Structure 1
Amino acid sequence: MSDTIPYLREAYIAQLAVRRASLLTSKISEEHLQKGISKEDKSPVTIGDFGAQAIVINSILKNFPNDEVVGEEDSTLIKEKGIKDAIFQHIKAIQSKDQPFTEQLGHLTDGDEVCDIIDRGNSKGGRSGRIWALDPIDGTKGFLRGDQYAVCLALIVDGEVKVGVVGCPNLPHDLAKTSGPRGGLFTAVKGQGSYFQDLHKDVIYPFTKGERLSVKNEFDVSQARVVEGVEKGHSAHGLQGLIKQKLGIVQPSVNLDSQVKYCAVSKGDAEIYLRLPRVVDYQEKIWDHAAGYLLVNESGGKVSDMYGNDLDFGYGRTLNSQGVIAATSTTHAKIIKVIKSIVGENGEKLEEFCKK
């Protein structure tokens, strides 16, 4: 591995792991939809979440055994539901399909090992050391309906995000052409830019040989395209509507699940991602933002909380801030100014727009 690109090995292993986990989640999603299981049945999500987390953590610890992982899941529910063998069978099938990369990623051997590995995602985070933040399936409802979701992984070193990789199995290569090719692998390394490649092709090494991404900083706010979450419970859509009105944004928003929204901004398919809190004291989880944060920043954009402050990934498993704004550098300051004009410089009026 070349020494000229920092964190090159970490990025490559993360790409391979996220790609393998994305293959697993795609398999489970397709089988779930083919069988016609009701959307209320959470078993496909459970198996997909746990299987993806096991694959990624096992891959990370094989290569970087002293690193920590902040994972969303633990094995308690697996043991309660007695699904460890079902999860392992899906993992076994993907390991076989992805066998050429066993040397790099290793392989899991049974359901008990799956549980043990999943429980290694118990890091509390913090400001020192190497800590990986993992969301095995970001966008649960999108996953269930065969729509947008993502497998998200980021390396945080001494509180600073250094590597971010996002696998988007269902994302069109061009958001404006939904009938075209789908499936993207997004990679960013601090100081090296953000890159895109087809998720279904062999991982490009080094990642810098992929398609370099750049936000549309030439677009004024009047031309901006906005992406927002699908689920009303995840963001204050009423406040966001007022912000868009005051900014004079005329194009209708595109609603997408998961960190796919960060990917759309980094790729130039949108200029603004708004996520405003519905509960005043809600704290975002680091695994929901770390990889996407780096993707947008490294593609020439800016990500902050709703008051313009940088996000703090060294606080712990959560972000000690309110809201998230990801945007082009052209529009970001204008968005923050409008937000403050509505909720106050320090959020004095935010409670008016939130649940208590």
Structure 2
Amino acid sequence: MGLFKMSAYLKETYIAQLAVQRATLLTQKVAAEHLKGVSKEDHSPVTIGDFGAQAIIINSILKNFPGDEVVGEEDSQLIKEKNLGENILSQVQYVQEQDSSNNDSLGVIEDSSALCDIIDKGQSKGGRSGRIWALDPIDGTKGFLRGDQYAVCLALMVDGVVQVGVIGCPNLPHDLNDRNSPVGGLFTAVRGAGSYFQDLKSDLVYPFTRSMRIQVNNSLPVEQARVLEGVEKGHSSHGLQKLIKQALNIQSKSVNLDSQVKYCALAKGDAEIYLRLPKDPAYREKIWDHAAGTLLVHESGGKVTDIYGSPLDFSHGRTLNSQGVIAATTNVHGHIIKAIKQIIGEKGEKLEEYCK
């Protein structure tokens, strides 16, 4: 079960789990207090949640691994422009008090100046050498605003390869296909040691290998596969995805979910395919949107590539040097890539006409 690799990153995994769990507490508090009646144009709850979660996680990482770098989505410019520091700090300090048993492990943030400094430590350019964490404090902004699916995502890359991935999903059912299922999951993957699930609200199971191991569902043929797609049409070409499903004679209706919860549902066996087709041939995905989820699916027995079947490479910087993402069970992944190439060409010669 890859015990050597697992033990090599045991502390990193534990700190990542604690930090993500603490950050989800903050996002849930912000959602409960600020989202009732908020318009989609009002991004203040997202701002508070994003900045607060990023501060908590970066502070936790650098307390334990001061030589590491972080690729984070946010910086403190807007905080300073809008004088948001004290508001965000109050949310962070409340969560630190509620989660005080972990303060020795994760540290505390005591003033708004320190909070801004910590947030700005997420400006690593990434790359192929050293220890670099990829962080998305709230993945799925519009899902968060709707009170729907979003995720807190953190991954450790070592010399450009993702070694640890942790995703907190506050609103994801334990069983996506059961309306009465409890919600809230913490998903963890370590290269060579597998993928695991535990209830987000419960105390951490330590070490993570004692929690529930999860596997993709490789038993279904492609025509019976259940498909996950993003909610926002601006993030992925739903038209091209429809053509691919038709070419594969897939019968089931797609389930639309925001954020990396799609990777989590796939890794847990609640679906077999996740399609993310480019809307713009020049667009490149951000590494924090896929690093943790890619490892989670890989370690649960699935496969994640770009639309041409090449592995995702996280060593190029803050973005991936590839087009689109296809995540699936191993027995259907090849069929998807073949169908894509039949539609857009072996090298994407016709891709642009499907991006209009």
What's the TM-score once normalised by structure 2's chain length?
0.98
* Structure 2 SS opposite 1:232: coil
Map of 2:32 onto structure 1 = 30
* Structure 1 SS opposite 2:197: strand
Q: Deviations over 1:316-337 (max 9, x none)?
A: 0000000000000000000000
CA distance in 1, matches of 2:94, 2:28: 12
Q: Deviations over 1:11-47 (max 9, x none)?
A: 000000000001100110111234x222221000000
Q: Count matched residues.
A: 353
Residue range with higher mean Cα deviation, 88-97 or 171-180: 171-180
Map of 1:269 onto structure 2 = 270
Mapping 1:316-335, distance limit 5 Å: 316-335=317-336
Map of 1:12 onto structure 2 = 14
CA distance in 1, matches of 2:179, 2:268: 15
**2:209 counterpart of 1:208:** yes
How much does 1:88 deviate? Answer: 0.3
Mapping 1:195-274, distance limit 5 Å: 195-274=196-275
Gaps of 5+ in 1: none
How much does 1:222 deviate? Answer: 1.4
CA distance in 2, matches of 1:193, 1:56: 23
CA distance in 1, matches of 2:63, 2:318: 23
* Structure 1 SS opposite 2:195: strand
Q: Deviations over 1:185-226 (max 9, x none)?
A: 000000000000000001111000111010011111011000
Q: Deviations over 1:249-278 (max 9, x none)?
A: 000000000000000100000000000000
Map of 1:124 onto structure 2 = 125
Q: Deviations over 1:88-139 (max 9, x none)?
A: 0000000000000001000000111110000000100000000000000000
**2:41 counterpart of 1:47:** no
Residue range with higher mean Cα deviation, 283-292 or 23-32: 23-32
Q: Is the 8 A contact 2:272 2:328 kept in 1?
A: yes
CA distance in 2, matches of 1:271, 1:30: 32
Map of 1:21 onto structure 2 = 23
Q: Deviations over 1:212-241 (max 9, x none)?
A: 010011111011000000000000000000
Q: Is the 8 A contact 2:35 2:45 kept in 1?
A: no
**2:182 counterpart of 1:177:** no
How much does 1:150 deviate? Answer: 0.1
Mapping 1:276-355, distance limit 5 Å: 276-355=277-356
* Structure 2 SS opposite 1:13: helix
Matching residue's letter, 1:265: L
Map of 1:115 onto structure 2 = 116
